[in-house]
Chains A and B, each alone.
Chain A
Amino acid sequence: MIWLDMCLIAIVFMGVIVLGNNRLRTTIQLFAAQSFLLCLVPIMILPGFHAGILALETFVLKVVLMPLVFFWAIRHVSIRREGQPLISYGHTLLLGGVLIAGSFLISARLDLPVKISSNLLVPCAFSVIMIGFLLLVTRFKAITQIIGYLVMENGIFLFALLLLEKTPLLVEMGILLDIFVGVLIMGVIVNQINQEFGSASTVNLVNLKE
């Protein structure tokens, strides 16, 4: 059980490090590491065939395939680091801390109808969702935004682990497939934005207003 808690806390920390980081390569590596820890969680909660398949899937998709797509994308659009974000890194980190505290508060008052295997599972899931959202809101580069989206998805995955016993395998696989296709499409869109505007920053999308 202690290993599960350690693992969850490590996942949140990875998210926090992503928040304060501006190198895209590192960000992608951090995301891969976070996903690797994530794929261990189901095995720890409920060792067995179901969890094993889930872990394998997550590993193949999130630790291997998606980072490969991202590395391909940043090579293609040749960007290394995030420019000036909407809120500076220091403030983002502070805000992340506040949001983590807030998610612990929220989950303390939330009563769930299922048996919870670890007290940290729900607060950590919330924290990761919040961190993902913060990334989505504060960053301009399209790649970081996609990573923010995926970090959020990791949080949702953690939350969904509450229902590990009840969810059929087919549904989980479907969800993961959706996400993978989504990432592929976003990779293409990043390329298109780059070609159209000469940079992969979403600031240019302001022109689409009205």
Chain B
Amino acid sequence: MNFLFCSLTVLVMSILLICLSVRFKNICNALFLGSLIVASVLGLMAVFHVLISPVVEDLYLNIRMPLGEFYIGMDALSAFFLSAIIILFLISGIYGYGYLKTTEAKNLGFHYALYQFAFMAMMLVVVARNGILFLMAWEMVTLSSYFLITLHDERPEVTRAGHLFLLATHIAGFCLWLMFLIMASHSGSMNFDQMAACPFTPFLAGIIFILGLIGFGVKAGFIPLHIWLPHAHPAAPSHVSAVLSAVMIKIGIYGLMRVFCLVRDFPHWCAILLLLIGMISGVCGVLYALGQHEIKKLLAYHSIENIGIITLGLGIGLWGQIEHNSVIALIGYAGALLHVFNHAVFKGLLFLSAGSLIRSTHIGEIDRLGGLLKYLPWTGHLFLIGSLSICGLPLFNGFISEWLIFRGLFEGMFHLPMTGIILSSMGVIALVLMGGLAAACFAKAFGVMFLGNSRSIDNSLIKESPMSMCLPMAVLGVICVWIGFFPRSMVMFAFHAASVICSRPIPPEMGNVILSPLLMVIMILWVVVIITAILVFLKKKAMKVLPIQEGPTWGCGYSYMTGRMQYTASSFAESLLRVFRPVLGFKVSGVKPEGYFPKEAEVSSHVVEASEVFLFRPVFEFIKFLSGKLKRIQCGYTQLYLLYIFVFLLALLIWKMV
């Protein structure tokens, strides 16, 4: 706990110092990197302390704040999220230093200070033990992320994305205030321990659940509340979008989990709702991702998909908690938690490598790239590791957490009542569908960008990013593979955190029962990999004597190959998208070439964002229409304004008399 407090203090000091020394670029950079590393190390020490001695430590500072106290505490749940936040902020920060070093952006010092501010605020959110402190930290996260997103605010779409983000998160913030006020008025205190000790009626718990679902769901990006997400991520600089996607949306999940700790008497429909949201977000997220042409937008939609997967775990865990089945609850929650961590790592890696790619080529559109693996070896191979992890393939970390969630859903099929069986089987089907579609999507993204030949630019001019960007990405890649090979420590950590949520002890044999089939699978695959490697090595050796001829990729004997005679990302995805046309709103426009000597033709396709076009736009248009009418009141004549006051006073007087 003391370590954590020191870490927060270091961050606050560094923010002040950076703001004071904005003019001196070198001092600013040194301060930023130094304080980031020191604060992260201190924070990680705090996390390890919780891991070693599972005694809950609280820090109660008697600082008089408006409406509440400065009350922070660490349990395994906080520590779990804290570890993800610290790792991602540290790595993205170092990467961001390399990323922004060459750009002549104005006020980099302030950007660094805001980055530290967001870091501090996010740490504060997960350790806050008081409702007011939590909400204040929450708003601090929102505001600092807004400024981080709008670093390049000279581009109009960036400003728009920032406004959308601010609007959406403020609506969410309103719901959260309401939720915490209800909880506080029922339990008589804003402190979390008193809230946890107080029983809630199912009706009240339902209202709290709905408010929390909206409030935290906007941040987390549940469909249909996700509209800010696909706009904000491409607009932000890459290290910021990595942090946003990896940890900022996860604190929405953290909030839900914390509410599950505090309020225990949820009715059944809450779990059903959560499972349904998970399925819809997951499947729609990955389908939308398939239809995207821009790499960062594609990754943003994949964040929604992964939030769906996490929500599935959360839903089955909640159901187990409601049914007092601690095995289901623990496995579901642990799967969700581990996927939070894993998604943070591999999505961070994917965003960082996408940023490195965009920085080298200045192109974000998938269909204009190609054949980059030879020229960007670090970026390309790390992107591959991230893709394999996000698809949930074995030997990588995504597999472990998805395994746990599958396991939770299968347990649900065996031990829950009828509705539970139906929903768990639907969840399994949805999860399978998501895995397959994600694999297709990343086959498309990786294949088109890194394999084949270049489609528009001269690849030989492209240079790999500097080491200050490649090394942080490599660290994330190593973490992906490490969890994939040796899952025990993180799985047990996740179980500890899960036991905090449902406040049940872990059965002593739990770890081995869950892990033994997993370890077996990994071992078998490990053997397969080794055998394949040996065979490849032998083949290379045997082939050495034969002459090897190298030709261009996709040469296939054509005499006049051009870069455009390749599969494009859109054509790769088209067949899948056609199947899902009824749910997706997939639109193809343009003329196809016809006849033996076709004239010039063009085809374009895009996916209609249903909730944005059919749900939010009409509502916002209506509000805009109403406020347009209201604007006529403000006409500029002082006389009329006086008349308003006069009429109002007169009305008050008459009302008072009648």
A residues in contact (CB < 8 Å) with B: 86, 106, 109-110, 133, 136-140, 145, 202-203, 205-210
Contacts and interface: CB of A to CB of B under 8 A. Distances in A.
A136 B640 CA distance: 9
A203 B638 CA distance: 8
Given A109-B657, A137-B646, A206 B636 contact: yes
A86 B639 contact: yes
A137 B636 contact: no
Given A106-B653, A110-B657, A209-B634, A133 B646 contact: yes
A202 B654 contact: no
Interface of B: 634-640, 642-643, 646, 653-654, 657
Contacts of B636: 205-209
A202 B642 CA distance: 13
Contact of A133 (B635, B642, B653, B657): B642
Nearest to A207: B636
Contact of A106 (B640, B642, B657): B657
Given A106-B654, A110-B657, A206 B637 contact: yes
Rank and list the top 10 A-B pairs by shortest CB-CB distance, nearest first: A209-B636, A206-B636, A137-B643, A137-B639, A133-B646, A136-B642, A109-B657, A137-B642, A202-B638, A205-B638
Contacts of B657: 106, 109-110
Given A106-B654, A106-B657, A110-B657, A136 B634 contact: no
B10 to A, nearest CB: 45
A121 B205 CA distance: 61
28 contacts: A86-B639, A106-B653, A106-B657, A109-B657, A133-B642, A136-B639, A136-B642, A137-B639, A137-B640, A137-B642, A137-B646, A138-B639, A140-B639, A145-B638, A145-B639, A202-B637, A202-B638, A202-B639, A203-B637, A205-B636, A205-B638, A206-B635, A207-B636, A208-B636, A209-B634, A209-B635, A209-B636, A210-B634
A111 B637 CA distance: 36
Contacts of B637: 202-203, 205-206
Contacts of A136: 639, 642
Contacts of A207: 636
Contacts of A206: 635-637
Contacts of A202: 637-639
* Main SS class of interface, B: helix
Nearest to B641: A137
Nearest to B634: A209
B568 to A, nearest CB: 47
A139 B643 CA distance: 12
A53 B642 CA distance: 33
Nearest to B645: A133
A40 to B, nearest CB: 28
Contacts of A106: 653-654, 657
A140 B640 CA distance: 11
A155 B643 CA distance: 17
B650 to A, nearest CB: 9
A195 to B, nearest CB: 19
Nearest to A86: B639
Contacts of A140: 639
A208 B641 CA distance: 14
A123 B643 CA distance: 21
Centre residue among B634, B638, B646, B654 by max chain A CB count within 10 A: B638
A55 B639 CA distance: 32
A86 B637 CA distance: 11
Contacts of B643: 137
A6 B657 CA distance: 28
A86 B636 CA distance: 14
Centre residue among B636, B640, B654 by max chain A CB count within 10 A: B636
A110 B653 CA distance: 10
A106 B653 CA distance: 9
A128 to B, nearest CB: 14
A207 B636 CA distance: 7
Contacts of A109: 657
B39 to A, nearest CB: 44
Nearest to A210: B634
A133 to B, nearest CB: 5
Nearest to A133: B646
A210 B635 CA distance: 10
A109 B655 CA distance: 12
Contacts of A145: 638-639
Given A110-B657, A139-B639, 14 more contacts: A106-B657, A133-B646, A136-B639, A137-B640, A140-B639, A145-B638, A145-B639, A202-B639, A205-B636, A205-B637, A206-B636, A206-B637, A207-B636, A209-B634
A210 B638 CA distance: 13
A164 B636 CA distance: 40
A106 B634 CA distance: 30
A138 B642 CA distance: 10
Contacts of B634: 209-210
Contacts of B640: 137
A149 B639 CA distance: 12
A206 B634 CA distance: 10
Contacts of A138: 639
B178 to A, nearest CB: 32
A49 B654 CA distance: 37
Nearest to B644: A137
A145 B639 CA distance: 9
A184 to B, nearest CB: 20
A208 B643 CA distance: 18
A203 to B, nearest CB: 8
A65 B643 CA distance: 29
Contacts of A209: 634-636
A208 B634 CA distance: 11
A110 B642 CA distance: 24
A207 B642 CA distance: 17
A209 to B, nearest CB: 4
Contacts of A139: 639
Contacts of B638: 145, 202, 205
A180 B634 CA distance: 31
A106 B656 CA distance: 11
A102 to B, nearest CB: 9
Contacts of A133: 642, 646
Contacts of B654: 106
Nearest to A109: B657
B340 to A, nearest CB: 45
A179 B636 CA distance: 26
A208 B646 CA distance: 22
A109 B654 CA distance: 10
A22 to B, nearest CB: 16
A209 B634 CA distance: 8
Contacts of A86: 639
A190 to B, nearest CB: 13
B117 to A, nearest CB: 32
A21 B638 CA distance: 21
Centre residue among B634, B638, B639 by max chain A CB count within 10 A: B639
Contacts of A110: 657
A127 to B, nearest CB: 13
Nearest to A138: B639
Nearest to A99: B650
B643 to A, nearest CB: 5
A164 B355 CA distance: 78
A208 B638 CA distance: 10
A109 B637 CA distance: 34
A158 B230 CA distance: 65
A140 B635 CA distance: 15
A1 to B, nearest CB: 27
Contacts of B642: 133, 136-137
